[in-house]
Amino acid sequence: MATFADIGLAAVINIVTALVFLLAFAILRLQPFNDRVYFPKWYIKGLRSSPTHSGAFASKIVNLDLRSYLKFLNWMPDALKMPELELIDHAGLDSAVYLRIYLIGLKIFVPITFLAWAILVPVNWTNSTLEKGPSKLTYSDIDKLSISNIPLGSL
C-alpha cells in the first residue's frame, strides 16, 4: 500500500537522478574532447577545431577555463528562444521537432494537470466509499485519491 512518504521518496530519487544526468551532460558538453559528439555540424564546417591538433595535452582533454563551468546551462534559454529555422540550421531538424513536441506537450498537459487537481482531487478526497466498505479493507490517505473511492454507478 503506497503512502505519501513513498511517493515523496520516489519523487526525490527521480529529481536527483535527473539533476545528476543534466549536470553530467552540461559538464561533458564543455570538454574539448567531446566536440565531435556535441557539436558535429560546427566540427564539420570548421567552426570548431580538433583538440588533438593544438594546445597542451591537458587542454585537449579537459576544459581548464573555470569561468565556463559557472555558465554551463546558459545554452538552455538560448535554445528555447531561438527561431525554428535558426535552430534547424544550428542543431538539426530532430532538435527542432523535439522542442516543438515538448512545448506542445507542456501547453496541453499543464492546464489539464491544474484542472485535474482543482476538480478530481477534491471529489475523490471527499467521497467516503472506502470508509463504508468492508471492515477488513485497509487503505491509506493516498487511496482516497484513487478511483476506488468513487461510488459504483457514478461513472
How far apart are the C-alpha atoms of 42 and 35, rounded to whole Å?
Answer: 9
* Domains of the chain by residue range: 1-73, 75-155
Q: Is the dihedral of CA 12, 14, 19, 21 positive or negative?
A: positive
pLDDT at 59: 63
And the C-alpha cell for 39? 557539436
Closest CA to 121 of 140, 147, 139, 152: 147
Q: What is the pLDDT of residue 107?
A: 97
- The pLDDT of residue 114 is 96
Residue 126 has a pLDDT of 81
What pLDDT, on a 0 to 100 scale, did the predictor assign at position 52? 54
Q: What is the pLDDT of residue 104?
A: 96
Digit-coded pLDDT (tens) for 52-89:
555 566 666 777 777 777 777 788 888 888 899 998 98
> What's the rounded Cα separation, in Å, for the pair 44 and 35?
10
What is the C-alpha to C-alpha distance for residues 126 and 132, in angstroms, rounded to an integer? 13
CA 32 vs. chain centroid, Å, equals 26
Residue 2's pLDDT is 76
Spans of the chain below 70 pLDDT: 1, 47-60, 155
Q: What's the pLDDT at 38?
A: 74
